[in-house]
Amino acid sequence: MSLGVPSPSEITPSILVIGTGDTKSDELQFMASIIEQAGGKPLMVDVSILSDPPYRPDYTRHDIAKSAGTTIEAIIGSGDEHSAMSLMSAGVTALVGMLHEAGKADGVIILGGSMGTDLALDVAAALPLGVPKFVVSTIAYSHLVPPERIAPDLMMILWAGGLYGLNGICRAVLSQACGAVVGAARSSVKPGKDRPLIGMTSLGSTCLKYMKYLKPELERRGYEVAVFHSTGMGGRAFEAIAAQRGFAAVFDFCMQEVVNHQNGTVVTSGPDRLENAGRVGIPQIVAPGATDMVDLPAWQPLPAELADRPYHAHNRLIGSVTTSNDGRRATAALIGEKLAAAQAPVAFLLPLKGVQEWDQPGEALHDPAGLDAFTQAMRRAIPPSVTLHEVDAHINSPQFSTQALAIFDAWVSQGIIPKGRP
């Protein structure tokens, strides 16, 4: 029974196809043909700089320059390829945003090498969650791509064997990508706004467990809850949605990505972790979950400076090593600095009996002296604008979750957080 709602097969999504048509015309035209075959409508967006493509794009390089507030001649004379492509990036990002707002773009696919990928990341980040965005890149999944620039729902595929001209491998990759973005645009269920959304961070459900109690309790109160896995990209998605004011409030209870970035590991969500909710005025209930350890790739040797620390191998991908007392004090100071800039109420819950599952007595990362060093430093680091709530329990205890929920309920009663909608 259709109930009058079109099935995915009846929808013809408009897909923006973005690339430099002067150098990649064969590839881009092939992509357009695949999108048409898959039931989509390709709209060609040309970000060439030096010359026009051999086909007629729907949006020209001159349109892109105009969107950047300049001309293509001025972009060509701007200095070098970096400055020129940066201007084109600003222009195409503005144009894509306008087209999406006007309902003319149901999805986007962008083709490029390192230059095109740089531009693609800006375009994808400007589009809201739920708009399909696909990047075909020669540096997909590379460490050249910083996590803080990756949109929460970005899809990528390696442009294997396709740097210069079409071939069988290239056609296979491009056709998969085009089929994927059309299918996603047809089937995508956009995030609903019928209930206020609460953002929550955690480290799996074994290391940190509070969400098992808090999520159903918040849902009973009429809220939707999204829990983010704080292993780098989860925190990046959390921060990106917070920056777009996507949360009514946050329970930011896992700070490990702050520690990871501070210690220079690849398990990072970028330098702005723990900053965006406060910057845009979202109420925050915060706790220092997993601040006593650094996550590292388990398939690499431990750095020399951490090799003598207690280590826990979570699986073959990721392992955790404890930080020193001085490291924990530095983490406390950094958390305090970040929270001091918040433009909305912040409550900080400090669990006195431990901050993650493996720091309890008998576990591999048990370190009472280290916990005490962090606790003392955290008390000193809490800024006057933040309310400190000490909890004489472990972070995974029912007592901790009960106190967090009591703060939340009080803020709802005070109008700090909007009421839920059952």
Tell me: the pLDDT tens digits for 72-96? 999 999 988 899 999 999 999 999 9
Q: Rounded distance, CA 69 to CA 127, Å?
A: 20
Q: Is the pLDDT of residue 262 over 60?
A: yes
Q: Is the pLDDT of residue 4 over 60?
A: no
pLDDT digits (tens, 9 = 90+) for 201-252: 999 888 999 999 999 999 999 999 999 999 998 999 999 899 989 999 999 9
Torsion sign, CA atoms 36, 39, 43, 46? negative
In this predicted structure, what is the pLDDT of residue 365? 87
Q: Tokens 């702005």, residue?
A: 272
Q: Rounded distance, CA 387 to CA 332, Å?
A: 15
Q: Rounded distance, CA 198 to CA 219, Å?
A: 10
Question: 158 near 246, Cβ under 8 Å?
Answer: no
Count, in order, helices (H) and strands (E) of the chain: 13, 14
Strongest mean pLDDT among 5-14, 161-170, 235-244, 296-305: 235-244
Q: How many CA atoms lie within 13 A of 359 on its CB side?
A: 28
Question: 66 near 59, Cβ under 8 Å?
Answer: no
pLDDT digits (tens, 9 = 90+) for 114-164: 999 999 999 999 998 889 999 999 999 888 888 788 888 999 999 988 878
Query: What are the residue ranges of helices labelled H in 139-221?
Result: 168-187, 211-220
Dihedrals phi, psi of 277, to nearest 5 degrees: -60, -45
Dihedrals phi, psi of 392, to nearest 5 degrees: -80, 60
Q: Rounded distance, CA 234 to CA 229, Å?
A: 5
| Nearest CA-CA partner of 277 in 334, 319, 314, 235 | 235
Q: Is the pLDDT of residue 1 over 70?
A: no
Q: With bands split at pLDDT 50, 70 and 90, how would you rate the model's confidence at 9? A: low
> 11 vs 32, 33, 381, CA distance in Å?
17, 17, 54
- Return the domain boundaries, the chain: 11-187, 197-413
In this predicted structure, what is the pLDDT of residue 266? 87
Dihedrals phi, psi of 137, to nearest 5 degrees: -140, 145
Q: With bands split at pLDDT 50, 70 and 90, how would you rate the model's confidence at 8? A: low
Q: Is the pLDDT of residue 56 over 60?
A: yes
Q: Rounded distance, CA 263 to CA 244, Å?
A: 28
Q: Mean of the pLDDT values across residues 7-12?
A: 70
Q: Tokens 């991908």, residue?
A: 317
Amino acid at 25: S
Question: 117 near 145, Cβ under 8 Å?
Answer: yes
Dihedrals phi, psi of 159, to nearest 5 degrees: -80, 75
Parallel/antiparallel/unpaired status of strands 14-19 and 293-297: unpaired
Q: Does domain 11-187 have CATH number 3.90.730.10?
A: no
And the tokens for 141? 């999944």
Residue bearing the bigger pLDDT, 297 or 401: 401
Parallel/antiparallel/unpaired status of strands 14-19 and 107-112: parallel
Angle at 97 between CA 39 and CA 50, to 5 degrees: 85
Angle at 173 between CA 167 and CA 179, to 5 degrees: 125
In this predicted structure, what is the pLDDT of residue 2? 45
Neighbours of 40 (CB within 10 A): 26
In this predicted structure, what is the pLDDT of residue 7? 58
What's the N-to-C CA distance of the chain in angstroms? 27
In this predicted structure, what is the pLDDT of residue 205? 87
pLDDT digits (tens, 9 = 90+) for 161-186: 887 889 999 999 999 999 999 999 99
Averaged pLDDT score across all residues of the chain: 93
Q: Tokens 């955290």, residue?
A: 378
Q: Rounded distance, CA 3 to CA 123, Å?
A: 35
Check if 11-187 and 197-413 are the same fold.
yes
Question: 17 near 32, Cβ under 8 Å?
Answer: yes
**CATH-assigned architecture of domain 197-413:** 3-Layer(aba) Sandwich (3.40)
| Nearest CA-CA partner of 145 in 178, 176, 118, 174 | 118
Parallel/antiparallel/unpaired status of strands 224-229 and 284-289: unpaired
Q: Tokens 């406390």, residue?
A: 332
- The SS3 of residue 227 is strand
Q: Rounded distance, CA 188 to CA 181, Å?
A: 10
Dihedrals phi, psi of 223, to nearest 5 degrees: -115, 155
